[in-house]
Amino acid sequence: MSVHRLSQGGHINRSQRLTFHFDGRRFFGHPGDTLASALLASGVRLVGRSFKYHRPRGIMTAGPDEPSALVELRERSRTEPNTKMTDVELYEGLQAWSQNRWPSLKFDLMAVNGLAGNIISAGFYYKTFMWPASFWEKLYEPLIRHAAGLGRATCLPDPDHYEAVHAHCDVLVVGSGPAGLAAARVAGEVGARVILCERDFLIGGGLLLDPAQESWRKEMIATLQGIRDVQILPRTNIFGYYDHNLLGGVEQVGDHVAEPHPHEVRQRYRTFRAGQVVLATGASERLIAFRGNDRPGVMMAGAALTYVRRFGVAPGKRAVVFTNNDSAYATALALAEAGLDGVVLADFRRENRLAAELRAHGVDVRFGIEVSDFGKDRVTLRTPSGGGDNVAADLLCISGGWNPNVHLASQSGARLSWDATLSSFVPGAPVQAERSAGAARGIVGIGEAARDGLAAGLAAANALGLGGGDIDFPLPAPEGPCAPLEPLWEVKSSGKAFVDLQHDVTVNDIRLAHREGFSHIEHAKRYTTHNMATDQGKLGGLVGAAILAEARGETLEKVGLPTFRPYTKPVAIGALAGGTTGERFQPIRRTALHGWHLRHGAVMRPMGAWLRPSYYPKAEETAWDSVSREARGVRQSVGICDMSTLGKIDLQGPDAATLLDRLYINSFSTLAVGQCRYGLMLREDGIAFDDGTASRLREDHFLITTTTANAAPVLEHMEFYAQTVWPELDVQLCSVTDQWAQIAVAGPRSRVTLAKVVEGLDLWAFRFLSVGEGHMAGIPLRVFRISFSGELAYEVAVPSRHAEIVWRAILAAGQEFGIVPYGLETMDLMRIEKGHLAASELNGQATAADLGVGRMMKKTGDFVGRVLSARPALADPGRPRLVGIRPIDSGKRLRGGAHLVSKPGSGRSLGWITSVTRSIELGQWIGLAMLENGEAMSGKTVHAVSPLHDEAIEVVVSSPHHVDPENVRVRN
């Protein structure tokens, strides 16, 4: 039963009832409610527990600045922890659970932490968990991990869908209060493309709390909807402001239903690029620190006004309103009109002209009063002289003033300025094309904010050259001047007074941080966790800074606030990822031969962004049977492999050879036309970056190949140096990876196979590391005599559109020799037998010398990475070097990643295994490894230890070239 629901008023639909559950209990609400308003209407006061002390907490606010009312929404795979119930739009079937309590919300055993408040004050973990050291892993860390966090995230896959959208506009207006509506309308009417974003599901902001402005609100919305180039986006929170007027936002498309409709996204990540931005983000009411200011029943005065005027809910039965400014007078009046008994307004100031109207409505207005405590259904009032009074009340509404929501303005680069009238910070001079309007820059009053918004919208349009003519439409009347606010940060008394309710940060914690040397606002933040809760300090951030300023003996203006960073409000990781998850994490790339591979039973495997054939099993074959058959076919006769995914970079220009000489450790200017050369590229720090080949097609024309994984990074690397480091070089380069299919033909019968179909090229006179051009059935192609398998081999490059024709022709030519297609697994097997490098060895840690190719370094001339590769630590011969390994017992298996040690049980690793395979030629497991003093260890034995498999086997160190170390086969 909705015991606190008012019979009329608000923006809810009382004709329709919604059923929802909280902690297993059934409740009812109406469309237009939030979860918080529906629970308040049902008389629920206790909704959560605080993080550290597990103190009981109620609903404190009515929006995204809520620190306490966090719940876990939905069930199973849709579980969503740490959701502010003040931000949750009520829907039929909503399921919510309170958090951070055991065994129940009313009886939480962890509340015993409150008794140890003096022990577990700010920074206690830095001092407590230091001794004895042996307790860390056994006791301290498990306890900390168990206690950490609030809600419970699901481990199940997210069933919902997300998407990302990019939007461009002339003017982006953030916030739909009076300033935002006025700014959007004036900009739209002068012809600007306008997007108006509102985080709430209702448009209007503060207008929703003033029934007298309802007709103006509706008229403004209707007008905006009628302007063609104005788009209104409700349920869209702008969370970050970045360089070049780029803003990020999330639109909650399907969060107001139990499950999004089929084929509809749950949330939409929006990126806005705006010519001008108007920030009409409003203001947040700030806390006052006093004993008991965190208990259920304490509520911000503006929130209480929201529940009465917007949701038709009386948040209590008897209320005290405690304030130091005029805004809370509207709350006291609304509570009295809602029928609450004996409303008392305690004003810290001495007088106010608004008192007469409140007293006429039965409100007991008292001046020069402060609240020193809030207990069970009673409020302790006192005067500065020490006199006091206890007032019966179950609701205490507090207002310490209003802080403009400067977060986005600060993120844009604008410095904050101190406003003594507001006792708060306001946005300073803009750095980007933005301006704040209305309450977001300290303008008080609906009429005043609307006029400021109109001026801001017109200024934004003028800055874009779109201004013209006088735009005139009715605005709410100004409200007149307010009585000055009298700053009040803390009512001092014994007991805990909180400045951060979610993390249980008290005023004493702030003072302790100062005493222990954490006096800078950023240091105090990290020491106490103040400002680090999900409300990001909107409620008590300035109060904590004021306490720190007092402790330092400095002004609040000088102490300042911590840096505001995205996100202004928690954002679901799913929204940030959008649709780029699973197979859609990045675009799937397929070679021109992909269809042929599938038709012939290839098992496909992702290789970076590409799908490549892993092996081609026949009926009843296991994976290893298939790989071993393919490998034997290549070693004994001929095989064919799709190598199209290798990075291919076309480099042209008079200085092409010079650029290559500077990028690779070996020379390419000496390379003759029609020849290929293997090369290794270093990073600036001297570490191996990528290997590949460069083929000189003409004097000023090279074709570079890279590994599949580094195709894009190598292109970026080359572009960077060509454009910024050596812009004087006359070179042009571009990726041609997709334009050319590359087909490897390897094995003793590869030459005779290709000779049957390749025309215009004498393969019998074609030497190793040569490149030539020919054709096949009229199709132009390039032939490279290079080998990754260690066998006589060729690579045929053909325009991608002709790839399958050439592939089938080669297969037909090799049919009499039993030609076999082979995949990645077979290729890896053969390259390990041969000792060729791959990503496992090029892991970002090894130098050229470590990989056994240091002798390739040119004797003269500079290249990228040369200087730093000569550092003593990198030139140390004791570094891990590439070696081959084989088990002493040929029946034993090697494990990739196993550590190499002198003997089992040794605590010191001498290196690790990078790659392993079962050798076809040697009939046993072999591997490549990085081993300290690798060259000197040849012929010696070490032990390969794999703790994951509880294995330790004895291995002998050998050359990495397990098969044909003299390279006889490739040169036949």
HEC secondary structure over 194-226: EEEECCCCCCCHHHHHCHHHHHHHHHHHHHHHH
Segment 39-49 shows an average pLDDT of 94
DSSP string, 246-277: EEEEEEESSTTSSSPPTT--SEEEEEEEEEEE
Residue 217, C-beta contacts closer than 8 angstroms, at least 6 positions apart: 181, 203, 204, 207, 208
With H, G, I as helix, E, B as strand and everything else as coil, classify residue 799: strand
Taking a C-beta distance cutoff of 8 angstroms, is the pair 861, 661 a contact? yes
The fraction of the chain above a pLDDT of 90, given in percent, is 80
Strands (E), 747-851: 771-776, 779-784, 793-799, 820-821
Segment 250-266 shows an average pLDDT of 90
pLDDT at 468: 65
pLDDT at 130: 67
Q: What count of other Cβ atoms lies within 10 Å of the Cβ of residue 154?
A: 16
Give the separation between CA 525 and CA 539, rounded to whole angstroms.
Answer: 15
Bond prior to 56 in cis (omega within 30° of 0): no
User: pLDDT at residue 148 above 70?
Assistant: no
Residue 137, C-beta contacts closer than 8 angstroms, at least 6 positions apart: none
Give the separation between CA 853 and CA 592, rounded to whole angstroms.
Answer: 34
Torsion from C-alpha of 578, 581, 585, 590, nearest 10 degrees: -120
Give the separation between CA 783 and CA 761, rounded to whole angstroms.
Answer: 9
Give the separation between CA 36 and CA 38, rounded to whole angstroms.
Answer: 5
Least confident of 209-218, 600-609, 720-729: 600-609
The amino acid occupying position 456 is: A
Tell me which H or E stretch contains 410.
helix 407-411
Picking from 160, 165, 37, 56, the residue whose alpha carbon sits closest to that of residue 107 is: 56
User: What band does 907 get if pLDDT is binned at 50, 70 and 90?
Assistant: confident
Q: For residue range 282-314, what is the model confidence (pLDDT) as tens digits?
A: 999 999 999 999 999 999 999 999 999 999 999
pLDDT at 152: 81
Give the separation between CA 279 and CA 427, rounded to whole angstroms.
Answer: 10
Picking from 16, 34, 13, 21, the residue whose alpha carbon sits closest to that of residue 306 is: 34
User: pLDDT at residue 94 above 90?
Assistant: yes
Helix axes 656-663, 711-720, angle to 10 degrees: 110
Segment 33-40 shows an average pLDDT of 97
Give the separation between CA 337 and CA 9, rounded to whole angstroms.
Answer: 11
Give the separation between CA 249 and CA 237, rounded to whole angstroms.
Answer: 5
Taking a C-beta distance cutoff of 8 angstroms, is the pair 545, 487 a contact? no
Torsion from C-alpha of 90, 93, 94, 100, nearest 10 degrees: 150
More confident position, 688 or 106: 688
pLDDT at 199: 96
pLDDT at 124: 66
User: pLDDT at residue 43 above 60?
Assistant: yes
| Mean of pLDDT over the chain | 93
User: pLDDT at residue 4 above 80?
Assistant: yes
Strands 94-98 and 80-84: unpaired
Helix axes 301-309, 327-337, angle to 10 degrees: 40
Tell me which H or E stretch contains 146.
helix 141-147
Tell me which H or E stretch contains 956.
strand 951-958
Give the separation between CA 435 and CA 175, rounded to whole angstroms.
Answer: 13
Tell me which H or E stretch contains 515.
helix 507-515
Torsion from C-alpha of 871, 877, 881, 885, nearest 10 degrees: -170
The amino acid occupying position 499 is: V
Number of C-alpha atoms within 13 angstroms, CB side, residue 286?
31
Strands 925-932 and 911-918: antiparallel
Phi then psi dihedrals of residue 875, to 5 deg: -90, 0
Give the separation between CA 272 and CA 767, rounded to whole angstroms.
Answer: 58
Helix axes 541-552, 521-528, angle to 10 degrees: 120
Give the separation between CA 651 and CA 717, rounded to whole angstroms.
Answer: 13
Give the separation between CA 692 and CA 647, rounded to whole angstroms.
Answer: 9
Give the separation between CA 610 and CA 595, rounded to whole angstroms.
Answer: 14
Residue 770: alpha-carbon gap to chain centroid:
48
Give the separation between CA 164 and CA 576, rounded to whole angstroms.
Answer: 8
Number of C-alpha atoms within 13 angstroms, CB side, residue 250?
22
Strands (E), 580-687: 589-590, 603-607, 610-615, 639-642, 647-652, 676-682
User: pLDDT at residue 1 above 60?
Assistant: no
User: What band does 118 get if pLDDT is binned at 50, 70 and 90?
Assistant: low
With H, G, I as helix, E, B as strand and everything else as coil, classify residue 303: helix
The fraction of the chain above a pLDDT of 70, given in percent, is 97
Segment 523-546 shows an average pLDDT of 89
pLDDT at 126: 66
Q: For residue range 480-523, what is the model confidence (pLDDT) as tens digits?
A: 888 899 999 999 988 899 999 988 899 999 999 999 999 999 99
Give the separation between CA 690 and CA 716, rounded to whole angstroms.
Answer: 13
Q: Residue 93 is encoded by which pair of tokens?
A: 């079937």
Compute CA distances 297 → 44, 279, 310, 322, 853, whole Å. 10, 33, 19, 13, 74
Q: For residue range 808-841, what is the model confidence (pLDDT) as tens digits?
A: 999 999 999 999 999 999 999 999 999 999 989 9
pLDDT at 904: 84
Give the separation between CA 30 and CA 37, rounded to whole angstroms.
Answer: 10
Q: Residue 396 is encoded by which pair of tokens?
A: 């205490």
- Using the Cα atoms of residue 252, residue 254, residue 259 and residue 264 in order, give the sign of their dihedral: negative
Strands (E), 464-515: 498-500, 505-506
Least confident of 432-441, 498-507, 572-581, 688-697: 572-581
Taking a C-beta distance cutoff of 8 angstroms, is the pair 294, 68 a contact? yes
- The whole-model pTM stands at 0.79
Compute CA distances 636 → 282, 794, 831, 966, whole Å. 77, 16, 16, 18
Picking from 394, 391, 369, 395, the residue whose alpha carbon sits closest to that of residue 379 is: 391
User: pLDDT at residue 938 above 70?
Assistant: yes
pLDDT at 129: 67
Segment 874-880 shows an average pLDDT of 92
Q: Residue 660 is encoded by which pair of tokens?
A: 């290559």
Segment 858-866 shows an average pLDDT of 94
Q: For residue range 368-385, what is the model confidence (pLDDT) as tens digits?
A: 999 999 988 899 999 877
Give the separation between CA 643 and CA 610, rounded to whole angstroms.
Answer: 11
User: pLDDT at residue 342 above 80?
Assistant: yes
Least confident of 101-110, 484-493, 772-781: 101-110
Taking a C-beta distance cutoff of 8 angstroms, is the pair 208, 237 a contact? no
Q: Residue 452 is encoded by which pair of tokens?
A: 């400021």
Domains and CATH numbers, the chain: 1-151 (3.10.20.440), 162-284+405-463 (3.50.50.60), 289-399 (3.50.50.60), 495-559 (1.10.10.1100), 594-645+739-830 (3.30.1360.120), 647-735 (3.30.70.1400), 877-971 (2.40.30.110)
Q: Which residues pair with 272 in a beta bridge?
A: 167, 247
